[in-house]
Chains A and B, each alone.
Chain A
Amino acid sequence: MNVADTQVTRIERSTIDRARKWARANLVNGTANTVLTLVSVTLAAYLIYTLTRFVFVGADWEVVDVNRRLIFLGRYPKEEQWRIWPPMWMVMGLGGLSYGMLSRGSLRDLAWLGAAVVFILAFLATTTNGLLFGGGVLVSIAAYGLGRLSIGRPLLRSKLRLVTIVGWFLVIPFAIILITGFGGVKPALWGGLLLNVLLAAIGIGVGLPLGILLALSRASSLPLLKGFATSIIEITRGGPLIAWLFIARFVLPAFIPDAFETDPIVNSMIVVSLFTGAYVAEIVRGGLQAVDRGQVEAADALGLGTFNVTVFIVLPQAIRAVIPALVSQMIALWKDTTLFAFLGFTDALSGGQAAYNQAAFKGSQIEVLVFVALLFWAVAFGMSRLSQRFERVLGIGVR
């Protein structure tokens, strides 16, 4: 036996030993824990078996393959597809930049991102689309590099930070202008996952400022303003979103003056924004309650006006404290966009429903639903992970 062999054996033994020690400490310490482990192993094995069997044997994914356009874009016209790419590049670039500035990057992140890229590539039908997406990936990587570069360069970093923040604020207006403007696609034809994304983005984009305004009004010393804001918030929160959406679609039109020729989807967006605003208002109110009264008194003593105190002293502290709750609300909104399927808008879910109602694909409901659920899960999970990262960087919850 030579030296090298002994070393290998030692390493192997130590790995096995460590695993054994770990297992003993974490899995089989005590009778109760051993039983729990056994039950869990059975459950895990069952889950893995059923899922693998379903994905590779039971399911026929052709329905998703044929109808991916319906699920991702709905009735969005094919010849206007180019309009989606620039905002997408912008998102990818900003994503890369933000990631580069906030995080050192890890193998684990890289694995997740790589999986996402491969997944998306698999669903782009044409080579052109693949190349366009590949370009976006390159933009993203370049932006990441730039973000990394800024570490240790305060001047560059402060500039980049401004670019990132302004960019994130502009991306949705930019997307909407590019999609609708210049003889573009009107909201009634937005569809598929694109519609869900736009709905969620607009809902949070309008709902967030609205919610902050409502929360501030509710915290106001003016009784009428306070009462007004409280009524709006509580009445909105009183009913489920689906009821509000039905009202927006079927009752509201009768109350809108004829002079306003409104798009039904715009009505629904207004309602979703109001709904989100009411929930955001309650979250921000929690944040306001956490701000120390002394802060306002000190600012008052310095002679700052109501506006200055509110915008520069109170709000930053209040919102910082409730970022996790705000992200949860965003995720809730993202999932709730599936309710638009009830209203006759072809979102990802209702596009999928149409797909499994096609003569060729009867009975493939589960494949479609699992796929659509996976799409929603991926985005929501990504958001929650990003927010956790963000919280850690900003040190939220740590005092």
Chain B
Amino acid sequence: MVTIRWGKDLTDLGLLWRRRRTRRIIIQIAIAVGVGLFVFYMADKARDLDDLGFDFLSGSGDFPLSTQWLTNYESNDTLLGAYGAGIFNTVRLVVIGIVLATALGVFAGIARLSTNWLVSRLATLYVETIRNTPLLIQIVIWYVVVFLQLPRVEDAIEYSGLFYLSVKGLALPSLTIDGSFGIWVILLVLGAVAAYVLQRWLHRKEEQEGGSKHTVAWAFLLFTVVAVVTYLLTGTPLEPDTPQVVITGANIYSVSGGIQVEPEFAAVLLGLVIYTGAFIAEIVRGGIQALPKGQTEAAAALGLSGYQRLTLIILPQALRIIIPPLTNQFLNLTKNSSLAVVIGYPEIIFVGNTMINKIGHAAPVYLMIFGTYLLLSLAISVGMNAFNRSVQLAGR
């Protein structure tokens, strides 16, 4: 890494203004004065605007939000409530999006390197088409071409009353919570800890004695047993909630109950996942290709199968190279979730714009939006950095 230094070391004996120290001081004073003046000017201008301040948030904007997740906002609630619902909608997109995009990206990245000609061609086609087309257009196309082509509710695709797939979305069975749910969760956490300890113990034994001890399988089994037993002991704290088709008003079909996945959310999610997945695929491919060929050859010489080579030798090493650019993609996905406005999915930019449209106050609303994105980015960066450190340590 190079550092750009100002002035030459040897000129310290020259004229005063040519000395390195002098230049350093002059340049820095100029910056300080410039920034100071700019900030002063902006602050002065800001005082002239009459829409600063955050008091308006306690008022109501009188607008509904068509999609909500975990929140219960109604149109006469405060604007703060509306913005909160927007944050939850953004987080929902980002969290699920990151998980699915990573899965798709890893899959497609490996597929691009497949020895199967057709598979690698298809993966290339996917990457080159999606990466080079604006996401904004893709989201609308997915919405209209995929989700609006689903059958009407009366002809919904269903499976023995468990799920319904229609143009009004996907309804899945869910569980409602009973009183003893908290106790069960605590017991579950204990079970998970016990399973982890078991896995570590078996792993150490594996390293000492050699051979496979099926560490994950045993740990999983322990956890499952704990989960089932405690579930029965606490008196089955969860009740299934299956979706069902209801007919209301003048022959209007809808699905109620269970978990509802709205087509608008699904379209934005699909768009984000497919788009980000294409970029992740390239990162994964590059990460794998960056490994010396000898790694694969040595693994093959040890008699590992193709799947073992990939999961035990290649991916863990590629991961170290992949994580930094992958973090960048996660941050991009977070920022790209703002494009959901194009079909009116109420994430923070949409809610913010609606608020401004109803009651003004553009400057503070954008300040809030930036604060939210900054927080989200910070959370992702911190998390990925911790992950990165753990991976790097494990490897050395």
Q: Within 8 Å of chain A (Cβ to Cβ): is B301?
A: no
- Assuming the A-B contacts A242-B338, A303-B8, A381-B128, are A36 and B1 also in contact, with contact meaning beta carbons closer than 8 angstroms in the complex? no
Instruction: Tell me the bound Cα distance from A40 to B116 in angstroms.
Output: 10
Number of B residues near A (Cβ < 8 Å) is 58
> Would B117 and A306 count as touching, CB distance under 8 A?
no
Interface residues of B in 124-181 (CB under 8 A from A): 128-129, 131-138, 140-141, 144-145
Q: Measured between alpha carbons, how far is A228 from B349 in the docked complex, in Å?
A: 28
Known contacts A239-B369, A243-B369, A289-B1; is-contact A365 B134 (Cβ 8 Å): no
List residues of chain A with CB within 8 A of the CB of B3: 219-221, 296
Option from B4, B133, B134, B336 in Cβ contact (under 8 Å) with A219: B4
From B24, B114, B374, give the contact of A222 (CB < 8 A). B24
Q: How far is the CA of A299 from the CA of B9 in the complex (A)?
A: 12
**In the complex, which residues of chain B have a beta carbon less than 8 angstroms from the beta carbon of A222?**
6, 24, 27-28
- The size of the chain A interface, using a CB distance under 8 A, is 63
Give the interface SS of chain B, mostly helix, strand, loop or mixed.
Answer: helix
* B137 in complex: contacting residue of A241, A243, A376, CB < 8 Å: A376
Is the pair B8, A369 in contact by a Cβ cutoff of 8 Å?
Answer: no
Please tell me if the beta carbons of B6 and A331 are within 8 angstroms of each other in the complex. Answer: no
Per the 8 Å Cβ criterion, residues 10-41 of A in contact with B are 26-27, 29, 33, 36-37, 40-41
What residues of A have a CB within 8 angstroms of the CB of B144 in the complex?
Answer: 365-366, 369
Contact with B along A230-254 (1 / 0, CB 8 A): 0000000011111100110011001
Cβ distance B144 to chain A, nearest Cβ, rounded Å: 6
Bound-complex Cα distance A6 to B91 (A):
70
Which A residues are CB-close (under 8 A) to B374? 238-239
Give every chain A residue within 8 A of B1 (Cβ-Cβ): 219, 288-289, 291, 293
Residues from chain B with Cβ under 8 Å of A342 in the complex: 341
Q: Using known A-B contacts A219-B3, A338-B134, A381-B128, determine if residue A43 contacts B122 with beta carbons closer than 8 Å.
A: yes
Contact with B along A324-353 (1 / 0, CB 8 A): 000000010001101101100000010000
Interface contact B134-A373, CB-CB below 8 Å: yes
**Chain B positions within 8 Å of A251 at CB level:** 362-363, 366
Question: A228 to chain B: which residues have CB within 8 Å?
Answer: 31, 35
In the A-B complex, the 10 residue pairs with the closest CB atoms: A380-B132, A240-B335, A26-B117, A335-B134, A240-B338, A40-B118, A224-B28, A338-B134, A289-B1, A373-B137
Q: Can you pick out 29 interface pairs between chain A and chain B where the beta carbons lie within 8 Å of each other?
A: A26-B117, A36-B116, A217-B4, A219-B4, A225-B28, A238-B370, A238-B377, A239-B370, A240-B336, A243-B349, A243-B366, A246-B353, A250-B362, A251-B366, A255-B45, A255-B46, A289-B1, A291-B2, A295-B2, A303-B8, A306-B8, A335-B134, A335-B135, A349-B137, A369-B141, A372-B137, A376-B133, A380-B132, A381-B128
Give 18 A-B pairs besides A223-B28, A224-B28 with Cβ atoms closer than 8 angstroms. A36-B116, A36-B119, A40-B116, A44-B122, A238-B370, A242-B338, A242-B339, A243-B373, A246-B353, A246-B366, A247-B366, A255-B42, A288-B1, A300-B8, A303-B8, A349-B137, A366-B145, A377-B133
